[in-house]
């Protein structure tokens, strides 16, 4: 049964995968539905998969394998609507950058630039930094074009897609699309309800950094 979406719905997508078949790696994405005619969550999840496959996962090492995307609609307080969610299992979701790779806690860091000082910047971090894409911990000049492609993809609206029998994006669905947002659930350390959201001005590559939660034995 399809999970229907409406204009201005807040959507949450969790991509789940692994690094070298050992360490679980997750990323969260939030979007707002900005165009819809009889739309559904699966079609927009497929659109996200298409965007990540074409614009993001190619930067990552071949040791990175994304296996499924969990999609849900959030209410004004940031909770799951009606307990409904769905899982899409794409047949593709692998990084394609070859060569030696740095440990999984070394990450590409992308910044969702805030609209004003009332919000924090948003960040997206990806495990799978190949040795050839860095020099002494800094981004190699040969990788500049690749990270710009990822930043542009993360900043852009996402078109809905239909799914083929393998769970992969097949055909654009021009009746629905969504735009990236950043959620604010806490202010000065205190949870807020309803939650806030903002449209980032842009998304930029920030740096090659580290993330403790992606160390072996710590988390994902």
Higher pLDDT, 166 or 103: 103
Phi then psi for 176, rounded to 5 degrees?
Answer: -150, 145
Q: Is the pTM of this model over 0.85?
A: yes
The confidence score (pLDDT) of residue 174 equals 92
Query: 134 near 148, Cβ under 8 Å?
Result: no
Q: How far is CA 115 from the centre of its chain?
A: 20
Check residue 120 and give its pLDDT. Answer: 86
Q: Per-residue pLDDT for 173 more than 90?
A: yes
Q: Which two tokens stand for residue 167?
A: 């769970």
pLDDT given at position 109: 98
Structure tokens at 186: 């806490």
Percent of the chain at pLDDT exceeding 70 = 99
- Torsion, CA 184, CA 207, CA 216, CA 218, rounded to 10: -30
pLDDT at 100 over 70: yes
Task: State the average pLDDT over residues 31-60.
Answer: 93
Residue 220 has what pLDDT? Answer: 56
Q: Which of 39, 34, 52 is nearest to 128 (CA)?
A: 52
Tens digits of per-residue pLDDT, 115-163? Answer: 888 788 999 999 999 999 999 999 999 999 999 999 999 999 999 999 9
Q: What is the pLDDT of residue 219?
A: 64
Average pLDDT over the chain reads 92
Over residues 197-215, the pLDDT tens digits come to 999 999 999 999 999 989 8
Residue 190 banded pLDDT, cuts 50, 70, 90: confident
Contact between 123 and 111 under an 8 Å Cβ cutoff? The reply is yes
> Is residue 18 scored above 60 in pLDDT?
yes
Q: Residue 140's pLDDT is what?
A: 95
The number of CA neighbours under 13 Å toward the Cβ of 99 is: 11
Span of 10-24, 67-81, 82-96 with lowest mean pLDDT: 82-96
User: What pLDDT score does 118 carry?
Assistant: 79
């Amino acid at each position: 049964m399809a999970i229907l979406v409406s204009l201005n719905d807040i959507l949450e997508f969790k991509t789940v995968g692994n690094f070298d078949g050992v360490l679980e790696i997750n990323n969260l994405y939030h979007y707002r539905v900005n165009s819809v005619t009889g739309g559904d969550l699966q079609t927009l999840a497929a659109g996200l998969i298409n965007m990540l496959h074409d614009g993001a996962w190619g930067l990552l090492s071949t040791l990175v394998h994304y296996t499924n995307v969990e999609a849900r609609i959030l209410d004004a307080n940031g909770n799951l609507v009606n307990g409904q969610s769905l899982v899409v299992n794409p047949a593709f979701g692998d990084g394609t950058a070859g060569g030696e790779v740095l440990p999984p806690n070394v990450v590409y860091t992308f910044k969702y630039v805030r609209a004003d000082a009332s919000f924090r910047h948003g960040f997206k971090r990806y495990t799978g930094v190949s040795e050839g894409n860095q020099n002494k911990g800094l981004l190699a000049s040969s990788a500049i074009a690749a990270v710009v492609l990822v930043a542009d993809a993360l900043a852009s609206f996402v078109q809905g897609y239909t799914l083929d029998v393998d769970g992969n994006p097949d055909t654009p669905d021009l009746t629905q699309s969504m735009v990236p947002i950043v959620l604010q659930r806490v202010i000065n350390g205190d949870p807020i309800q309803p939650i806030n959201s903002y449209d980032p001005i842009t998304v930029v590559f920030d740096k090659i950094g580290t993330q403790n939660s992606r160390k072996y034995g710590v988390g994902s």
